Structure 1
């Protein structure tokens, strides 16, 4: 007996298609029921709704293809297409799962490390199968201090974004503090003062950093010939720039800058021949203020003839 002009074979295929759809809907409902009963996290519930929806639809399409097209009767072909369909339907979750395996295997970072991935910087505070969580630093907050926001990053980002680890190799970073003094200041004395201040703040780090660099050199091509602070000299439009370069703990960067700046302010306040430089405007009379061998001849055009 034919129904709606369909042959018995097509009727059977139609019924099988409907039953497959019904079966997948029931399975999806059961999975969502179990998820909702075990967690009240709206994000987790949403994630499972999306995953089960895409997965059910992809599997149903493959089942329909197996029912209606004879070419899919080959078991090996069918299983291959089924695997491909599942991979496509679950592309993002599978990528995140692969990223999780990569993180565990290669360990580009661990929980507690301070990292930068893409434009995001922060401390890794949690690691899960599909994502890891970062306590954000920087952004609108200066000196890379915490913003208080927790950012969840899909594990798959490790394949597409560059990762910077502040603590891999050895747990210190180079920091620089620029100090600008006027051209008229005794910049040589200022440089000596800055060197003394930076060395005083670095004494407790020197031995520890040497040991860590030595240990890191056995694992990676990390060679640092100079670990002690240094002050570089350069010239800017408004004066002589003295830049302090020193090692510091990345989590104590702002505190170390504060301590060094307070010592600089106190030291310079006692010096009569050192002034900070800043954008200003002044008149410079070369024939009066210039060096004796580099002075211009005074302009006599404005002098009246007697």
Structure 2
């Protein structure tokens, strides 16, 4: 009983310390409540997408409760919310501006739907698939760097959410999960041009018909939503005459996650059909034409004794 009495007396003699202790207790209780509710949601929601969104919503609500508790303790009146936020911001803007911008960026990403988990984006010069978004960082599985095309490098990258305010955000899958790709094919002069065009176009139509069909409806939605011109989603072939060969440029639409494999399938099938033409169509390679061979003079010294 003496211990309890001493604690009560100490709390009565130190009202400021008492208020701080009560504040910290409330904050700890809120964090424990957030953790418990998140675990409860994780166990009972079967859908991964809904589970992820629910956990993030609980986290945001928890931070909001902590802000309200902080204001009520240090201002004494929740009606002073605007004034308290202004004073608090003025005091910590310089030291915590990056943190504040990151938290603001998380709200911006969530409400404006700049990107979401599962999207492929490029942010601050880093390209990858978004695997998590929290209140401060966006976590991505990196693509590229020392590996070619759209393959994972194996590195997991955390980028501050503040970067959504500092530069462009490239989203490969928002509204329209397709991209345009192209490659060049050198055809030797003297080849059957009509047969070559027929081979390239027929292979493109066969291999890309599914992407073209799926992209038509999606592109119409993009045209209706944004101020943008209509575009050609069918494969197109452009021919350019160069010094060494006739260059075929095939442009086509493809799922953003299957760009590398699709290019491989197109090249493989086109190459196979060109070989089957028995020389009517031939792929070109770099050639060099020797215009003039310089004259060489050889002087023989006859004074050499035999």
**Offset at 1:220?**
1.7
The residue that corresponds to 2:135 in the other structure is 129
Larger gyration radius, structure 1 or structure 2: 1
Q: How does 1:79-90 map to 2 (within 5 A)?
A: 83-90=89-96
Q: Which ranges in structure 2 are unaligned for 5 or more consecutive residues? A: 1-16, 33-82, 293-306
RMSD: 3.0
Q: Which ranges in structure 1 are unaligned for 5 or more consecutive residues? A: 1-22, 39-76, 286-306
**Offset at 1:98?**
0.7
Q: Is the Cα contact below 8 Å between 1:227 and 1:247 reproduced in 2?
A: yes
* Counterparts of 2:106 and 2:88, CA distance in 1: 24
What is the DSSP-based 3-state SS (H/G/I as helix, E as strand, rest coil) of the residue aligned with 1:103? helix
The residue that corresponds to 2:58 in the other structure is none
Q: 2:123 aligns with which of 108, 114, 117?
A: 117
TM-score by length of 1: 0.65
Greater mean alpha carbon deviation, residues 216-225 or residues 159-168: 216-225
TM superposition outliers: structure 1 runs of 4+ over 6 Å:
77-80
Please state if 1:157 is matched with 2:163: yes
**Offset at 1:178?**
0.9
The residue that corresponds to 1:12 in the other structure is none
* Counterparts of 2:141 and 2:200, CA distance in 1: 34
The residue that corresponds to 1:42 in the other structure is none
Query: How many residues are matched?
Result: 221
* Counterparts of 2:244 and 2:217, CA distance in 1: 41
Q: 2:283 aligns with which of 276, 279, 290?
A: 276
Q: Deviations over 1:31-89 (max 9, x none)?
A: 9xx8xxx9xxxxxxxxxxxxxxxxxxxxxxxxxxxxxxxxxxxxxx9996654122222
What is the DSSP-based 3-state SS (H/G/I as helix, E as strand, rest coil) of the residue aligned with 1:92? helix
**Offset at 1:223?**
3.7
What is the DSSP-based 3-state SS (H/G/I as helix, E as strand, rest coil) of the residue aligned with 2:109? helix
The residue that corresponds to 2:227 in the other structure is 221
**Offset at 1:203?**
1.6
**Offset at 1:91?**
0.9
Please state if 1:176 is matched with 2:182: yes
* Counterparts of 1:148 and 1:238, CA distance in 2: 41
